[in-house]
Amino acid sequence: MNRWIRTNVMTLVSLLAAAPAIAAEAVPPDALSVLERTESALERLAARVAPAVVNIRRFVRDDAWWASQQAAKPTSGWQVVPTGDQVHPQHRPLPGASGFFLSADGYILTLRRVVVDPKSGEVAPFVDVEWQNQSRTAQVVSLEPTLDLAILKVEWPDPLPFLHFGDSGKSPAGHWAIAFGDPDGSERTMVPGFVAVSPARECYQDDMSATYMQTSVAVPDGALGGPLVNLRGEVIGVNARRAVTGADSLVPAGSGFALPSNIASAIFQAMLMRESLESPWLGISVLAPNDTLRKKLGTPISGIYIDNVFDPSPASKLGIRVGDVLRSMDDQPIVTVYDFQRILYELGAGSRVRLGIVRDRKRLELLATIERRPADAVTH
């Protein structure tokens, strides 16, 4: 049995055994056969997904540590330091995490926290990617501080295996969610579970706590930045961490969080194009139109609904209000929340953008300057 599956099959057995019987005819005639088929399906899934998952380590400047390792005998700690820890003179490795290939030419998606120096918040001097026992120093292409995302690029002589984004909107509570990771060392992780809570919002601009998908998967630190996939091997999320404080302390211990793929995929190409290290920001929170909003406005909505405005912000300076509808940006129609996020990132901080607004059934055109998102704009 595949070693990734072995550690989790008993968990699956317990979950299935605990599930209430809905009807007598729904009970499979041969439970062991069902479990064996499930096990085989997960093993095939691991064979497809695992080759695209990588380990990522950052190296920070530490002259004292380096000097102690070059001494005949270190003053404390392990007496023999692995060669891989000494590949960058005067730099010490920090514990690694995971990422995954999204293209055959070596673009990798991971978390920002995996590639920055925790003391300075700046990109670490060296970020190394290990894949199939080979290591390369990566280029940090783009960072997204608010969503804690990073794009890296490594050069490899041959085409690399890569994963595809799936539709996280089609993975509601109860659907399978399997977390992959490649922590430091020889072990890899594959932790099967289920979606517990689907995101309440499609946009991160206001309520961060409602942005993330919550799962039953307890993701280890070394698997952060790795992919969360469905049974078809499509990426439905990026394994992440979110602070659990205040009212959120009711979240069950061990619950996992993932940034939904629909948000990540909406800005991935724009992050590649802009190669930015900051979050572009207008200061509005938006919602997709629904029946309640249509009834409230008393008119069909062509665009997305602005349900909150941060003050001060580019939006508040222009007099944009709660209840306005954003219908276009630089004459590009805004049909979904993801359209808004994609165009925002394509333009980037510092750009000027024409906003097509509808207010009280009247059309307005406003010229805004996209700014860098301030730290105090994060609400949760």
Q: What are the structural domain ranges in the chain?
A: 1-276, 278-377
**Residuewise pLDDT in 10s, the chain (380 residues):** 455 544 555 555 455 555 554 444 555 568 888 888 889 999 999 999 999 999 999 999 998 888 887 776 666 666 667 777 888 999 999 988 999 999 999 999 999 999 999 888 889 999 999 998 899 999 999 988 878 899 999 999 999 999 999 999 899 999 999 999 999 877 789 999 999 987 766 655 544 555 788 899 888 889 999 999 999 999 999 999 864 433 344 444 455 889 999 888 888 887 887 767 778 889 888 887 776 766 776 666 788 889 889 889 999 999 999 989 999 999 999 988 888 888 888 888 889 999 999 988 889 999 999 998 886 665 44
* Spatial distance between the Cα atoms of 71 and 74, rounded to a whole number of angstroms: 6
Nearest residue to 53 via CA among 241, 260, 230, 229: 229
1-276 has CATH 2.40.10.120 classification: yes
Which helix or strand (DSSP H or E) is residue 189 part of? Answer: strand 189-197
CA atoms within 13 A on the CB side of 91: 16
Q: What is the CATH number of domain 278-377?
A: 2.30.42.10
Q: Output b/e per residue, 68-85; b: 16+ Cβ within 10 A.
A: ebeeeeeeeeeeebeeee
Give yes or no for a cis peptide into 95 (omega within 30° of 0). no
Which pair of structure tokens corresponds to residue 112? 């920002």
